[in-house]
Structure 1
Amino acid sequence: MKVSLFITCLSDAIFPRVGEAMVRLLARYGVSLEFPPIQTCCGQPAFNSGYWNEARTTAKTIIEAFEDSDFVIAPSGSCAGMVHHYPKLFEHDPAMLDRALALQSKTYEFTQFLVNVLGVTDVGATFRHKVTYHPSCHGSRLMGIKDEPMALMTHVKGLEFVPLPHAEDCCGFGGTFAVKMSDISGAMVSEKSDHVKETEAEVLVGLDMACLMNIAGNLRYRNEPVKVMHLAELLYEGVQ
């Protein structure tokens, strides 16, 4: 079984510990993640901005990078969700459409792969902190991620879970949305931080570093002492 890591831009450039945590966790279950070096941006910024020709260019590179993989695992529901948009990009190109559908069928967000493919819900982690969880929009709405992260957190010893009020509300990042409509974006992330503070949690966890980066920046601006982590980081920290 050839399993490949689709690291995504933010995790690669800014949050490499997320990728390291994924690699080390999955190695405990006999999964050796490969890393095709030609992988690049998923094309979502161009796609969302209407530059579909440019999005096709990057999509073709991603399709080529993972052509021989049995599974493709990403630490981001947003970027994995973009791969699921690829068939739309190539709907008038039958040859590329077939390749896009093949990639779509084998691309998973990290917790989906761990829980639904490997059947793992208990990694043996201990994490004695009060934790709340932000379900990112793309992961929950496009990828259908709902029960998987909760199943994993439920089995973490010592973890006290506190539901996040209005958890389903967007954090306001939205990629280019945060640039084009910065005032609205700022108001949305400020409201999200208010809800995080309501929980009195020590740690905010999520599955997409774009959203977590946005919320973490607002929390730091407000001098709120909340640690922000990707779930893979939390799980790996708990098993060390």
Structure 2
Amino acid sequence: MHIGLFIPCYIDQFYPQVGIATLELLQKLGLDVHYPLEQTCCGQPLANSGSEKEAIPVYKNFVENFSRFDYVVSPSGSCVYHVREHYNILEQTDEVERVRKNTFELCEFIVDILKTDDLKIEYPHKVGIHQSCHGLRGLKLGTPSELVTERSSKVHRLLKKAKGIEIIGLDREDECCGFGGTFSVFEPDVSVKMGKDRLEDHLRNGVEIITATDMSCLMHLEGIARRQKHNLKAVHIAEILNSNRL
């Protein structure tokens, strides 16, 4: 497999360790990974702000950079969902359809494409899983609580076999953190209140580390935790899956 690695702009600028962990993990899994140097943003911030027409050149740049790969993998559920669902406004050439079909979030790629859920790692911590909205309901990385059916989660599947880990159950398993991209800018008071409620659930249940498939959600929760002086860490799922191997 020839893999194109897409690293979202906020990870590139603020959390490069997440991008590095994603690259190292994919290489450990025996994949041929490439990072196109001309990649930029997926265009989600523009679209979320009501300027999707202005995002079209950004969309086209993404397609130009990634259409040659078998799969595109990214440590961001929201960006992956945006590529799959919002690139429908482009002319649906073979290249566009290929990129939309073959772009995957890291966890779903490992579970659905590589067909494995045991990465043979050790992670002796009490971990709370934040189910990011785009990943949960858009990419179907898990079963949302409003559906009366058997619950499942690809993130849980990958973590539960880690030696020493304790996955902490939450009172509200899939509540939004309130970040929502530009929502946190235009509605900061509501966003912060939602974030405080989400953080309190983790703290109340004894979580040491919060993880998620989106660093944007973790950035929001970690910022609130720091301001409130809580001893709680936010660690992206890629960093955990790339941790100590047995």
- Under a length normalisation based on structure 1, what TM-score does the superposition of the two structures give? 0.94
**Corresponding pairs, count:** 236
- Report the Cα distance in structure 2 between the residues aligned to 1:88 and 1:235, rounded to whole angstroms: 32
Once the two structures are TM-superposed, the CA of residue 239 in structure 1 deviates from its matched residue by 2.0
Alpha-carbon distance in 1 for matches of 2:87, 2:237? 29
CA distance in 2, matches of 1:207, 1:9: 15
Contact 2:5 2:73 in 1 (8 A): yes
Q: What does residue 199 of structure 2 align with?
A: 193
Equivalent in the alignment of 2:45: 45
Q: Does 1:182 align with 2:178?
A: no
**Identity across matched positions, percent:** 35
Contact 2:42–2:79 (CA<8 Å) still a contact in 1? yes
Kindly indicate whether the alpha-carbon contact (under 8 Å) linking 1:4 and 1:73 is maintained by their aligned counterparts in 2: yes
1:118-162 per-position Cα deviation (integer Å, ceiling 9, x unaligned): 122111111111111001001111111122111111110000111
> Relative to structure 1, is the Cα distance of residues 38 and 157 closer, same or farther in structure 2, using a 3 angstrom cutoff?
same
* 1:68-98 CA-partner distances (Å, limit 9, x unpaired): 01100000000001101234322xx354xx4
Q: Is the 8 A contact 2:67 2:96 kept in 1?
A: no
Is the 2:208–2:233 Cα contact (8 Å) retained in structure 1?
yes
Alpha-carbon separation, structure 2, partners of 1:64 and 1:180: 32
Gapped regions of structure 1 (runs ≥ 5): none
Partner of 1:122: 118
- Give the residue type in structure 1 aligned to 2:215: M
Choose which of 131, 135, 145 in structure 2 pairs with 1:135: 131
- Runs (4 or more) in structure 1 with deviation over 4 Å come to none
Tell me whether 1:149 sits opposite 2:148 in the alignment.
no
User: Does 1:10 pair with 2:10?
Assistant: yes
2:177 aligns to what? 171
For the residues of structure 2 that align with 1:164 and 1:205, how far apart are their CA atoms? 13
AA aligned to 1:100 is: V
Residue aligning to 2:146: none
Preserved contact between residue 9 and residue 40 of structure 1 (Cα < 8 Å): yes
Structure 1 vs Structure 2 CA RMSD: 1.3
Secondary structure in 2 matching 1:238: coil
In the alignment, the residues of structure 1 paired with residue 54 and residue 88 of structure 2 have an alpha-carbon distance, to the nearest angstrom, of 14
Mapped to 2, the partners of 1:225 and 1:235 lie a distance apart of 22
SS across alignment from 2:244: helix
- Contact 2:210–2:234, Cα closer than 8 Å, also in 1: yes
Aligned 8 A contact 1:86 1:104 in 2: no
SS of residue in 2 equivalent to 1:61: helix
Task: Give the structure-2-normalised TM-score.
Answer: 0.92
Output the CA distance in 2 between the equivalents of 1:49 and 1:20: 29
2:223 is aligned with what amino acid? G
Instruction: Read off the aligned partner of 2:127 and give its amino acid letter.
Output: V
CA contact (8 A) 1:9 1:41 kept: yes
Say if 2:109 is the partner of 1:113. Answer: yes
SS in 2 for 1:33: strand
Instruction: For residue 236 of structure 1, report the CA deviation from its aligned partner.
Output: 1.5
